[in-house]
Structure 1
Amino acid sequence: MKICYYSIDFFCKRSINQSRTIIYNYYYQEQTVITATEENVNDNLLCPYQGLYHFSPENAEYFFGREVFVENLFQYTETRNFIPILGASGSGKSSVILAGLVPKLVKIGHWQFTHFRPGNDPFHALAQALVPLYVKNLDETDRIAQARKLAGYFQDNTILLSDVFSTIQGNYPNNRILLIADQFEELYTLCNDEQTRRNFLDILLNTFKSFAEKSSLSTVLVGTMRADFLGNALSYRPLADVLQKGNIMLGPMNEKELKDIIEKPAQKLGVSFEGGLVERILRDVDKEPGNLPLLEFALTELWNKRKGKQLTHNAYQEIGEVSGALTCYADSEFSKLKPEQQQQVRRIFVQLVRPGAGTEDTRRVATKAELNDSNWNLVKQLADARLVVTSRTVITREITDNSQQQPQQLKEQETVEVVHEALIKNWGQLRQWMATDREFRTWQERLRAAMNYWQEKNQDQGLLLRGAALVQASEQLKTRRDELSQDELEFIQLSQELYEKEEKQKQKQRQQIVGGSIAFAVIVALLGVWSEVQRRKAFIGEENANFRTEIATLQPRLNSTLPVQMDVIKLNQKLKQAQAPTIDIQLQGTDLLRQIVDWPGQKPINSLDGHENSVIGVTFSPDGKFIASGSWDNTVKLWKLDGTLVTTLKGHENSVNSVAFSPDGKFIASGSQDDTVKLWKLDGTLVTTLKGHESDVLGVAFSPDGKFIASGSWDNIVKLWKLDGTLVTTLKGHENSVLGVAFSPDGKFIASGSCDKTVKLWKLDGTLVTTLKGHENVVSSVAFSPDGKFIASGSWDNIVKLWKLDGTLVTTLKGHENVVSSVAFSPDGKFIASGSSDKTVKLWKLDGTLVTTLKGHENVVSSVAFSPDGKFIASGSWDKTVKLWKLDGTLVTTLKGHESDVLGVAFSPKGDVIASGSGYNTVKLWNFNRDELLKHACSSITGYLRNNPNPSDDERRLCGEKASGKVLFLQGEKLAAEGKIKQAVSKFQQAAKLDSNFSLKLAAASLVLFGELLAENGKLDEAILGFQKALEFDPGLKFNPKTEVAKHRFKRGQQLIEDIEYIEFDEEAILAYNQAQELDPNLKISASDWNQLCWAGSINKEADQVIFACNKAVELDPKNGWVYNSRGLARTLTGDSKGAIEDFEIFVKSAGNAEEKKQRKAWIASLNKGKNPFTDEVLEQLRSN
């Protein structure tokens, strides 16, 4: 359970609502209330602003500005059961739910609320949120234990989420449930396992499957996510489908909403702003939604500096205004620390920032262990100062002692994070620290990725740091030891110890060479050779260590985004050029490549779909070009390795149990539950049907010379056939069903395994050579050793036995705890692999020695196979995965993608493809051919590389692509838009040379367009150059560059003063008018245009800046009463009351209707009395009109 302790002591008293809204699993504890230190501040007055914290139900009465949005959310709860809210960081997503929607639902009643953040374990986080509603009245310990169990049930589908909600509905029959998924982007920032993310999203989406209509469930899921993570979310198609149709964007606030945020909380407490201060703050606030935290923090600080019941300009200036309040406060708190504490604070803060790679830096959660116990008191001090947030997370762990599993223990883990990312972006001191330490922090994140991967792989020694990675870590250890966690120190130190151990072994080898009695010259020669060998070994070792680090770094960030795809392609291109990458590194690299090729949303190349029932058997043709699959849909299908279906072999009248290729690859034999064997050509022609069995045919095999087929049946019999359908002999003797048959490598013998607990060995003439007795249950699998001297048999008695062909029992391989389902010999005949229902694979020597146990599957292991080179074992399981192992027990990779039990696995003859068949009617091909995968990977991004201006030339060269004319042209347009005209011209010229469709005339049109935009935005020199180059590219164009720039700069000024929200742009409008006239003194600006500028500036209290425009309007159109009206307003506001009266009198005589004349007469009367009629309220009315 996660408890967040927010220290929100804003140096002012806070209200505590006695009737608190209950939101389960939501902890927002206001721990400390500190009296304000300013003598002129009333201690009993409550603080209505929230600083960098979000609003909660307890302070909802002070939450303003989002009323319309909250009302829309409320309406959505009646029509949708999934409400995803996207907005920028700091836009107030959490507040609109917790202080907006929740209180509104509380008012109508009959709602229960629960809350979670996904964190690094989203299943557990969800379970924590649901347990209080799912099982009522649990104490804290039981609730924690129940949450852990429920999380496990969700992960293995033991309990469906919909069933949990049904139970909750039974517990609360008169209530609806609001499930709040806050900060949903943590699913991408904290949860590193892609499969976990997808599984979690699947259970949510499958439960809340209708976002457009009210579901039969009475539960509504409302989630908040930062908009900059939308790309991550859209990379998973099921979530993309929902978001594309139903996401709700929380956009920027308009001026009125911002004004409400500023004024209304204070007004509720009878506090006012000094005249003009609200408008001043509005001018200082950029309307980007991410700046709301800065505004709220500045208002909190301003509140602390209030004079009685007024907030003043002086206080606002003192806190550093909106832009500087946070920095001023953070600097002030930092300056209170002792020098040694300041150094510690620096180390703490840089650990709380994750350096961005081409993106903005983000906050990260750090544990107490990472920051060291000695720093924790200082962390609490920072929390009291509102700069960080501390939390406690209760976790469970299993204690293992002498192989005896102890009960789960509970452990509380303390964590800390920066209070808000606004601090990272806006505190100059922190930005400076990150600039200085960015290289170290980037390295440290890479180190953590490598360390985490090493820990996930059971601390495999081969994954420790080596080469350049170890040298760099050792250097960092010397200078930054205090900034490394205990786990990181241990990882580096173990790497160093391994290096030292290997160096000692090398030194011993040197001494042995030198200590011998070889002649000196020979010694020198050998040492020279040895030195070169060692240099080469060192280089290869360093190269492989770097590859391991790169793979470890890529693993957690693996997704379908283009940067990741290109990083994986780049890695594999380097592996192709490497001197001697180890086989496991090569496989891990190609596995990453395979995963991005097979990513959901990409064209699948590994799924052979078409069967209508479970696929029981898969086998490769001898040349590796085809795959045959037998299914319970009564068919055999023949496929090419690219997924093309060659043909479907139809004719069986019941399930197909077994398939086999002839040694020459020309025929396929299939055994069926229709009691027959059928022989087919590869074009689908049925050659013959072998009839004679009286029950299901369970196994078929070709003889090595391809002349015979053996079939084993449920009728207890083995039959031997010629390929023309002639029955050669019937092998009788088993007393129960025959499950499997196999020919010896020399083709002289047939072995058959049976439910009668025996293996029988036969000659081809039907003579029984021997019966191998000893098993105590069904013999499920038999195999000959490659040299034909031994038979291995696996049984349901949990045992593997090894026999000689004369019937002698060589050894009994004991160790499995459940049924042995599959046995296989290694190609060199030195090892036997056995798969079992005990979820393990065991590797044995032929003398019975257990080499290793391969653990990792979560259900029955149904099939095992050796790679042709004998270096790897593939295992298929009912846990829906295929695993690839090295013979030392190292798990190379887990192949995920099946949606049902894996029933069979097979390697292609070259060993670069694994085929697996499943109970979900599919065959999947797992391709490890790097060249083939690179071709597919490059083809998926070819269009992007050719036609998008963003990739660099190096990135294009990854796949042998060159920038097309279109790309060069788009790059030119991008440069032109940025005002980089010279570079843009070069790109346009290259594009025209490469592709006639992108002519210089077309470039001229673009330069004109972007020249207009540059002119409007005040980049005048760049705009002039753009227009000049356009004239060079297209002599048919006729215009004066300076005149064009002047026209468009003036146009911008017009736009600014016509905009109803131009308050921030009035000075730019004035500048635009003046610049336009300077560029072209002959440019005609009408009296109406000058009058607009005069009026707009005046009603926004900038009359002194626009009085010149008022005079120009009168000068150009002296008979127009409206221009006098505008100037009258400006004269009043600049203190020229006499001139104002004259102007309003002219207006009354020459313009306006009766009501307008009456209003001006009232203004004249006020001015004659020495009063200014244009109060703030009047100016607001004029702005509104």
Structure 2
Amino acid sequence: MPRGEIPLDPDGGPLFEFAARLRKLREQAGSPTYRDLARDAHYSIASLSSAAAGRQLPSLAVTLAYVRVCGGDEREWKLIWQRTADACTSACTGQGTSAETGPEDRRSGGAKPPYVGLAAFGEADAGVFFGREKLTGTLVEHLKEKRLLVLFGASGSGKSSVLRAGVLPAFPGVSSLVFTPAPHPLEECAVRLAARAGADPGQVRDGLTAEPPTFHRLVRRILAREQEAGSTADELLVVVDQFEEVFTVCRDPRERERFLAALLHAAQAPDSRTRVAIAVRSDFYTHCTRLPGLVDVLPHAHHPVGPMTVEELRAAIVKPAARSRLTVESALLTSLTADAHGRPGALPLLSHALLETWSRRRGNALTLAGYRAAGGFEGALAQTAEAFHHALGDSGRQAARRLFLRLVALGEGTEDTKRRVPRQELDDGPDTEFVLEQATRARLLTVDGDHVEIAHEALIRCWPRLGDWLEEDRDQERLRRALTEATTLWESLDHDPDILYRGVRLAAAKDLPRQALTTRERAFLDAGESAARQTQRREGRRLRRLRRLVGALVVLLVCAVAAAGFAVQAQSTITRQRNEAVILRAADEAVRLSPSNPSLAVPIALAAYRQAPQSRTRDALLSTLSIASTDPRPTGYTPAVTADGRTLAMADQSEIVLWDLSDPRQLRRLGAIDTREFALNGIEFTPHGDTLVGVGSDHVLRLWDVRDPRRPTLLCKRPTGHTEAVYSLALRHDGRLAATSGYDDVLHLWDITDPARPRRLDSLVGHTANVKPVAFSPDGRTLASGSDDRTIRVWDVTDPRHATPVAVLKGHRHFVDALAYSPDGRTLLSGSDDHTAKLWDISDLPRHRRLSDLVRHADIVAGVAFASHGRTAVTVGVDGGVNVWDVTDPARPAPLAHLTNPRGTVKEVRHLAAHGLFLTVTAHRSVQIWHTELDRALTDVCDRFHGTLTRAQWSRHFPRVDYSPPCPHRT
């Protein structure tokens, strides 16, 4: 006879009711033994019997397994479990439910969380700042020895936190000053120094502008004043956080240089009493090298912030919890470290996920179930932002969109960054106040005195809705940003009428939606319109006087016949030049319109080209056609295309989606692969397209059978052997050999002849820094690899078990980011951080030579590709350019087209052999199909875009140009 269950404790609260319902469900199923239940549920007898014991809440997985074998409704029991978990958390924390208790208080029970979420750690958080002890010690020793520190790190790497919560507390006897540059760094610096020194901010700013030593003298004055008040500090530690703002929001190069000169002089003066620590995002390193004063000290002052090790991540997760007498479930610890390890910019996401998991804790335990309920690693932040947005009404959502767009500094060759905005720049309406309050409560925004900013730039990357807003409103937001600056200047000069917009600028600003503007900005535009009407009336009076004068001079008409002929010719020239300017402006406008309104943008670009067929209108037409060519639009970070160009795979943080590319204009979704447990850094199809190979952030090689793309199946997964992040992979033309590259400076070769049993063959060592792009030659005999050591290495892989180096190609002045072989294998194309792409002759290895440079990008060249016929090459970059080159003679390449992507940075490029097109992926995960041959693109443009320009649209975009629609049969 099976032993009976222990009676339930009627005082067990929500656990009693939960366990009683489980037992009743088992009775309704015929009271099977727990041995029988364990056999069918695949959980131990102890796990299932404990679930109904009423002593603790079982996990959701165990609960659903129990319910499943007893024939219960899993969806109903999932809700029951969630309600019980919430009730248990309420009981364990002793939280109240009074009307005065806010939503955050109701979740936390009034307890202070041990994690700070998106916000940076401050000095007050030093007690819960763990994991960066080694880095903190290194930075403290550096500052004690050298007085100047420039800290570089990716967004989200913890630069601000280590300086505020790590370095500052390590100087207990030193006074400190922490600030961010803002749009006017000299003014911001002057305000902070003047407040401490008891001086006038205007005089301090004038002094800093006139001579850099003013900063040094003010520091001495501040220290003397504080010592008189009883302080023992004899030095000032200045922390300039988010230094990249001197490039993103400061528009005055002279003010930027003066600000830097003041900081450097204060740190380098012989009797210096100042130590300076600057935190700057690593993607602004190139910008820093353009400042003469800073580039001289960088070799001895800079220090990088890399990702945290596994041990450091464990400390950052477990020790703050231990301080608050909390425990971290081992499964949760494993999942968090796996998600965060090796990922740049992961720390704010980790901290926010921990904060949300803490608010869903069970008793004093942080659990994997709470982590998953919060949305996981990146989903927690997006879930918090979506919950905030969902709770707003329609007017509140519109206000939220306007507010968040104002708080983002749009990237110019770099990723978008957060922007610190004065409170007076925002509208004073009730919707704005309510949204600001709710976003601050949700910890998405921070309010510091009279300024508002996004809590962390991770929100820009991880909230899809904000990314969509930026994609849709990018051009309008640039206009709004310029309007805001003009309004501020107008107000500061006591409404000087000379500052008002006129002509084209006023017309462009008037097209902005009125509801998207603040009261101040609307007043500025109204004043501009009023001034324009006054000017128009003055011009009308002047014109009438001229007409009367002409009437008086009619008698001289006969004498002026010859002059009239000249005037007619001059008028014709002026009209032609005016029309050309109008047409070129319309072509540029078409490119800007193409992401949001392709049905209007394409006819405008086509009309501009037919009115003035030249390179600029041709490029605009190709750009517009390409951007508007794909529906639906795939998204993702990492692409792969089959050799025949008919199937596309796009990978992002949660899945790989397979698309049918048979018709690039109308893509069809075929199937998907769930990748939520890992992030993929590179994927490739085997030549026949039947197998997909990928490498992930967890250093694992995976192969999927995609012969039926609607039902892909995992064939196997193998550890790659890389000790650092895996960057990319490449496959040989026969599909039997693969190569992986990583940040451990090593390449690995793999035999994937049997996709279910890949074998590692050899490890290639020679690079002295991160190995990034890899590419096999068309004949499969050589492998090329690019590295952060600024070289390209070519390896002989004829015998992949014993690969040997053949040649080292040198010439790039910065990191090598992209490689591609020409179809005949005689030429290699490389792209680099030095803003160039280079063509190399490798037809007679080991002899090689650089053939030519492709110089047309304004920033990093992130991707390169050849067309299958080998006569055309494409380079793409961070500047958003898609450049097409004629490389028939690689020693003398010629530019064919310069296409523009309004969505910004272009990261990847692939050739679609079946269609003669190119596919690119932007930093915002959008995919475009690019036409590079004008004649081919023009063949069916009118049939593809069913519409033309009405007379009203023509008058708006081609004012005073004779109406000539591009597709007249559709008028």
**TM-score bucket (shorter structure):** 0.3 to 0.5
Higher relative contact order (CA 8 A, sep 6+): 2
Scaled by the length of structure 1, the TM-score of the pair is: 0.40
Bigger CA radius of gyration: 1
